[in-house]
Structure 1
Amino acid sequence: MSIRSAVRWVVFWIILALTFNAGIYFFLGKQQALEFLGGYIIELSLSLDNLFLFLIIFSSCGIKPVYQRRVLNWGIFGAVILRMIFVVLGVSIVNRFHWVLYIFGIILILSGIKMFFSKEAEGDYKNNFLTPLLSKIIPISPKLEGEKFFVKINGILHATPLFAVLVAIEGSDVLFAIDSIPAIFSVTTDPLIVYASNIFAILGLRNLYFILERLHNAFRFVTYGVATILTFTGIKLSILFFNIEIPLTMSIGIIFTVIMLSIIASVLFPGLEVSNEHQGS
């Protein structure tokens, strides 16, 4: 997919989400509309870091772009189902045990701090913990078989390395859902708003991935923006224990400002980290 086509689709999904947001405003009211907008911005910004991990997985496994689209399609389908399960379970737990929100807040703060100081993961994702686990369930063929997820070798069904990559992609989404679902609880616990904002953020991921695939080196500071958002949402949840609540409009403004500043910093200082790498080598 060309960047121009990918940008058009990303804009389409954003407009669709904002149209849905307008529908919420007219039918459910201003408060729910603000909650959806805040949740959508949070989920979309957190999804950016998920996409960077996808880039690492694909590149380290040597998956050509022609095969990536199918993995992304199935990965997004799986994410929609997984997020629904996480939302239902998460909302049920929060409604029954409200104190869980404070634990979620601490987890988000720790995740944000860890993201600030952790370096970009490197290594061969063929050896991630999910692939050996998968090999115990079904044999894995030694090479790619086009876009196929399964092949028969000597009459025995084998999973292909492409399917192993799909498992790694789905596994990474589970890990990111552990952060993103609690993060949106800082805005709302309404199941409809939580799930809808998640789904609209997920639907545009495939097209956004093709943009980041070509331009990811230009957005080197976005990860720090995402880390800041995680920390902020964690603090927002944690201070509820002291009956301190940050207004929703202020939260949306802070989150949007952080992500925009991280993008602007990436554009203004494109070679900063590159030069540091040369100095250390």
Structure 2
Amino acid sequence: MAETPLAFEIGTFVVLAIFFIVDLLIIGRRPHIPSTKECVQHIAFFVVMALIFGGCIWFFAGSKPAIEFYSGWLTEYSLSIDNLFVFVIIMSNFAVPKVYQKYVLSVGITVALVLRGCFILVGAAIIERFTWVFFLFGAFLIYTAIGLVRGDDDDEEYKENGVIRMLRKVVKISDDYDGEKLRTVKGGVKYWTPMLIVFLAIGTTDVMFAFDSIPAIFGLTKDPFLVFTSNVFALLGLQQLYFLLGALLDKLVYLPLGLAVVLGFIGVKLIMEALHGNSLPFINGGQPVHWVPEIPTWLSLAVIVVSIGAAAVASVLKMKSLETKGDAKAEVTAE
């Protein structure tokens, strides 16, 4: 497998930085409620860019890393859609005015990207030195998948994490928003506005999601460059997706099941890779288990596409079925 040229990687970071500056710090800074047309255009643009980027990787480094990128991007994108459920709850919990929600998402996503970058660097360093950590990653992903099937994450009430609770104890926070301002003055006393809490809630919550997504993508590729770019392309356009799907998020009833299949599959894949490449005293007499098959990259991509696609189609059919029953019931009541 050829490595991506350094010039290509540098150029990628420059282009992605421009994307983020324009999308989050310029467009996102303009308080407004994006229209459906604007959301669709932004999402389509970033999806096309991701597809083109994967094609560039294929050209410069070959098919394997390109398929790894597509697999990682689809997995991260799907997990990001699931994360939007919590973003909706956070916005509601803190009563963020709708006109400022796009701006809040812009800043929160920027914070999340920086923290995820640090998380990826640490994860890559650990994996390089201690490949047995795949056993832990794999077991955690399987545990998470089981939780999704059981509906352990269906709690509709947002619970503040430790960072937010600690912050409330050490700084003065006002009860009301003051536009986009982080600081306000009431009765001659300076306060932080609830906007600060919302920023941290979005950013830190997304990092908590990274405990699922980062191990998942390391199960698809070990290249930190592909891991990071997959995360970036998954986050780009997320704020537009938030407004586009808004009312439809609760209709994607089978998305958690689709994600459970993906995470469970990747968890098993990680454990198989760990068995294949590690020498552990309590397994196979301390020798690597070479007979364990390696799951090809194309199969990972196929499982991801089929699982998420089937979950989306099943959700749409379920939604239409409920709407049909609702219309029929309304007709009977009217008669």
TM-score, normalised relative to structure 2: 0.77
The residue number in structure 1 matching 2:316 is 267
Query: Separation in 2 of the partners of 1:129 and 1:254?
Result: 36
TM-score, normalised relative to structure 1: 0.91
Q: Which is further off, 241-250 or 6-15?
A: 241-250
> Larger relative contact order (C-alpha < 8 A, sep ≥ 6)?
1
Confirm whether residue 7 of structure 1 aligns to residue 56 of structure 2: no
Aligned residues between the structures: 274
Confirm whether residue 36 of structure 1 aligns to residue 69 of structure 2: yes
Q: Which is further off, 163-172 or 13-22?
A: 163-172
* Rg larger in structure: 2
Find the partner of 1:90 among 115, 118, 123: 123
Query: Aligned in 2, Cα 1:144/1:235: closer, same or farther, shift over 3 Å?
Result: same
Show structure 1 runs of 5+ residues with no match.
Answer: 276-281
Query: Separation in 2 of the partners of 1:141 and 1:78?
Result: 22
Query: Separation in 1 of the partners of 2:128 and 2:306?
Result: 31
Kindly provide the CA deviation profile for residues 170-196 of structure 1, in whole angstroms up to 9, marking residues without a partner as x. 121111111111100111111111111
Confirm whether residue 142 of structure 1 aligns to residue 175 of structure 2: yes
Query: Separation in 2 of the partners of 1:158 and 1:216?
Result: 35
Q: Which runs of 4+ in 1 moved over 6 A?
A: 271-275
The residue number in structure 2 matching 1:246 is 295
Q: Which is further off, 221-230 or 93-102?
A: 221-230
Query: Aligned in 2, Cα 1:106/1:143: closer, same or farther, shift over 3 Å?
Result: same
The residue number in structure 2 matching 1:278 is none
The alignment partner of 2:96 has SS state of: coil
Q: CA deviation at 1:31?
A: 1.4
Q: CA RMSD in A?
A: 2.0
| Maintained 8 Å contact 2:164/2:197 | yes
Find the partner of 2:51 among 18, 31, 34: 18
Q: CA deviation at 1:88?
A: 0.6
Identity of aligned residues (%): 39
Q: CA deviation at 1:142?
A: 1.4
Q: Match for 1:240: what amino acid?
A: E
| Maintained 8 Å contact 2:176/2:194 | yes
The residue number in structure 2 matching 1:55 is 88
The residue number in structure 2 matching 1:209 is 242
The residue number in structure 1 matching 2:307 is 258
Query: Aligned in 2, Cα 1:272/1:29: closer, same or farther, shift over 3 Å?
Result: same
Q: Match for 1:120: what amino acid?
A: D
